Amino acid sequence: MPRLTENEPFLHPDVDLTQADLGRFTEIGKGSRIAFSTLGDYSYCDRYADIANADIGKFANIASFVRIGATDHPLTTASMHHFMYRSSDYWDGAGVDDTFFAQRKSRRARIGHDTWIGHNAQIKPEITVGHGAVVASGSVVTRDVPPYMIVAGVPAIPLRRRFPADIANRLMALAWWDWSHDAIRTALDDFRRLSAKAFLDKYEA
């Protein structure tokens, strides 16, 4: 019996979910926190990932201690402190600043299909990481990452493309991540053994 199923996500101990929409065959690592986010089919995160206000595609590979959509503080007001917007924690009847929280939730990070986010990397709010991209361990991503690009550093900068542009474009057009579970199983040996180009040559219509 496979460990991952389409019926419910596999949650390791101490996972904290708040308005999280998890797709089929997903897995959430120990101690991870996911809030106001979607995780597409087959995507997973390893231990202690912290994901907020993010839309994550299918087949995303998210390593341990990754932070996506890190929440922020107000920079233009006299103070940046929690008392400004979590005011009910400090005073009876003060209430929370609903406008601030709504604005924070609207600043979505977007992670494409078949991406790899390395250990301890950070993806800032309102950043898009394109399909097939790789973010190296420890990187801080402050600018959009094109599809099939490998980035690294603080702040992250492009290192190289995973594939030439024509192969990347063909992979995105093939959109194998939208295939059925059975179709992916049928092609499993080819996923394992063929180069990207050979795979495309075989499976393009």
Please report, for residues 145, 170, 171, 176, 196, the alpha-carbon distance to residue 204 in angstroms, rounded to integers and kept in the order given.
26, 8, 9, 10, 12
Nearest in space to 67 (alpha carbons), one of 89, 85, 49:
49
Beta bridge partners of 51: 34, 68
Element (H, E) at 98: helix 98-106
Instruction: Say if strands 157-161 and 149-152 run parallel, antiparallel, or are unpaired.
Output: antiparallel
Residues in the chain: 205
Handedness of CA 100, 102, 103, 105 (dihedral sign): positive
Q: Is 181 a catalytic residue?
A: no
Take residue 127 and report the two structure tokens written for it.
Answer: 């950043």
Please report, for residues 7, 80, 100, 101, 102, the alpha-carbon distance to residue 74 in angstroms, rounded to integers and kept in the order given.
40, 5, 9, 11, 13
Q: Which of 12, 73, 82, 181 is catalytic?
A: 73
Give the 3-state DSSP-derived string for 34-58, with helices as H, strands as E and coil as C. EEEEEECCCCEECCCCEEECEEECC
To the nearest 10 degrees (0 to 180), the angle between helices 165-174 and 196-203 is 40
Q: Which active-site residues does the annotation give?
A: 73
